[in-house]
Amino acid sequence: MLKREEIFPVFRKTRYVVHVDLDAFFASVEVLLNPELKGKPVVVGGLPHERGVAATCSYEARKYGVHSGMPLRQCYKLCPQAVFVRGNYHLYQAFSEKFFRILREYTPDVEEASLDEAYLEFTRCRHLYPSFSETAREIKRRVEKDLGLSVSVGAASNKILAKLATKKAKPGGFFELQPGEEEEFLRELDISEIPGIGPKAQVMLRLLNVHKIADLWKLPLGTLRSLFGAPSDELYLLSRGIDCRLLEVEGKPESFSRETTFLQDIWDRELLLAHLAYLCDRLASALRREKLYARVVEVKLRYSDFKAVSRRRRLLLPVQETSRIYRVARESFLELWEGSRLALRLVGVKGSELVEARHLSLFEIYSEREERLSQALDRVREKYGFGSVLTVREKMLGEVYPEDRSRGFILKTASLTR
């Protein structure tokens, strides 16, 4: 097998990449908030006889063959004693945001691979840390202590190896792959472990008696190309642990938006305003976290027929505080909506033309009292979740649909950063 160093000498032992992935993320949050579930099989995604699939399940449930993406009814057949919960996406999102805030304290080079999964690179800040290994372990301890969730951590010289190392470390472990150990490590792994080898590719390869990664090494590049076309070159390299992909690190955001798509169209004015208030609150909290103010506030509506309209307002004084954003957003919303009063399937709010506090003139700085109140609010929410403090208007959402604020009526809530 060609050694990594022979192909890309520049990467010889020069990178240190850490991959971090929370264990059974949604299920672990449910267990954390309801300790009675500890040690029990837990399935998140819906009730046993509902349509739909499991978003995830606890490791106790996995022993029965239950896994993400499995229809709930089948989960129930395999493990009838499991506790089924519908889940609360907002809650998981709040945990996820906290997770990434912790990671960014250690290095600015953080790639958000998914809600509960990140790559960190220490190559640029190698001089800050006497031992990468110790830092990776320290991150694991910090995440577990501050979030109360179990996390697995893998470390290696590139992304693919770090991700595979995490997989080996699961659940709750730490695994570091040393340079030179790649071949032994990869040899016995199943081909399905390589990202990019989907179910169809697996079927083709297994027909050729290729099951383990070492079997794949025997296939010439030409054969791979005839089977899979263009992606073969990357596959050829990845299967040998060679990966020169850099982290996809996001730059400074240009805008923040929060939007909600409803499961059923809504026409009730007060309920729509309650949703809008909630979205403004989320937006304000994202702005505060980044210490940014928005000069432009835009409201977007989508009608049942998918037609979308929006209205943006450029403000004299940039805003960050919830009630100010809501006041502007409400006005735009009513201008757009009152004319038609049609049912809506989506409401969204966006803040753009972002400015940092230090670039605001003296006259633009708002009352210190408001700022202190917001900071206190953020601290409480950080500790007890976003839903722990809600305005009277937002609380209405819970009263209308008391059984479940997140799923009963919302199809999805998206946070977009551009």
Residues with catalytic function: 117
| Interaction between residue 84 and ligand TTP (CB under 6 A) | no
Quote the CA–CA distance of 3 and 54 in Å, as a whole number.
41
Q: Indicate the residue among 9 and 148 with the shorter CB distance to ligand TTP.
A: 148
- State the minimum distance, in angstroms, from the CB of residue 139 to Mg ion: 15
As given in the structure block, the two tokens for residue 395 are: 């609380």
Strand 42-44 vs strand 83-85: parallel, antiparallel, or unpaired? Answer: parallel
Does 116 help bind Mg ion (rule: CB under 5 A)? yes
Query: For residues 26 and 409, which CB has a smaller minimum distance to ligand TTP in the complex?
Result: 26
- x-marked contacts with ligand TTP along 1-40 as a string, rule CB under 6 A: --------------------xxxxxx--------------
Using CB under 6 A as the criterion, what x/- string covers residues 161-180 for binding ligand TTP? ---------xx---------
* Minimum gap (Å) between residue 171 Cβ and ligand TTP: 6
Q: Which region, judged by CB under 5 A, interacts with Mg ion, from 24-32, 290-298, 330-338, 376-384? A: 24-32
* Distance separating alpha carbons of residues 112 and 98, to the nearest angstrom: 13
Looking at beta carbons only, is 166 or 260 nearer to ligand TTP? 166
Q: Is 303 exposed, middle or buried (0-12, 13-18, 19+ CB in 10 A)?
A: middle
Considering the complex, state which of residue 150 and residue 285 has its C-beta at the smaller distance from Mg ion.
Answer: 150
Of 74 and 114, which CB lies nearer to Mg ion in the complex structure? 114
Q: For 339-369, give one letter per residue: b (16+ CB within 10 A) or e.
A: eeeeebbbbbbbbbebeeeeeeeeeeebeee
Residue 99 in tokens: 């997770």
Alpha helices in 50-148 (DSSP H): 59-62, 72-78, 89-104, 132-147
Spatial distance between the Cα atoms of 171 and 205, rounded to a whole number of angstroms: 29
- φ, ψ for residue 264, nearest 5 deg: -125, 145
Closest approach, Cβ 116 to ligand TTP, in A, equals 4
| Smallest distance, ligand TTP to C-beta of residue 414, A | 14
Structure tokens at 36: 């009675």
The interface partner of residue 1, options being ligand TTP, Mg ion, none and the CB cut-off 5 to 8 Å by kind, is: none
Taking the complex as a whole, the smallest distance from the CB of residue 43 to ligand TTP amounts, in Å, to 11
Q: What are phi and psi of 30, to 5 degrees?
A: -60, -40
Torsion angle of alpha carbons 133, 139, 140, 142, nearest 10°? 140
25, 228, 256, 333: which one contacts Mg ion (CB under 5 A)?
A: 25
Q: Which of 21, 30, 182, 394 binds Mg ion (CB under 5 A)?
A: 21
- Measured from the CB atom, the residue of 163 and 300 that comes closer to ligand TTP is 163
* Closest CA relative to residue 311, chosen from 286, 338, 329: 329
Tell me the C-alpha distance between 393 and 275, whole Å: 9
Using CB distances below 5 to 8 A depending on partner kind, what does residue 115 bind out of Mg ion, ligand TTP, none? ligand TTP
Task: Give the shortest CB-235-to-ligand TTP separation in angstroms.
Answer: 21
Per-residue burial over 36-72, b if 16 or more Cβ lie within 10 Å, else e, is: ebeeebbbbbbeeeeeebbbbbbbbbbebebebebeb
Q: What 3-state DSSP class applies to 325?
A: helix
Among 115, 214, 219, 249, binds ligand TTP (CB under 6 A): 115
Residue 119 within binding range of Mg ion, rule CB under 5 A? no
Closest to Mg ion by CB, 54 vs 272, is 54
What is the rounded distance in angstroms from the CA atom of residue 114 to the CA atom of residue 52? 21
Structural contact between residues 147 and 102, judged by C-beta atoms closer than 8 angstroms = yes
**Binding map of ligand TTP across residues 61-80, x = CB under 6 A, - = no contact:** -------xx-----------
- Least Å distance, CB 135 to Mg ion, is 21
Residue of 17, 22, 44, 61 that binds Mg ion (CB under 5 A):
22
Out of Mg ion, ligand TTP, none, what residue 170 binds, judged by CB under 5 to 8 A for its kind, is: ligand TTP
Question: Which residues of this chain interact with Mg ion, rule CB under 5 A?
Answer: 21-22, 25, 116
Question: Which residues of this chain interact with ligand TTP, rule CB under 6 A?
Answer: 21-26, 55-56, 68-69, 115-117, 170-171
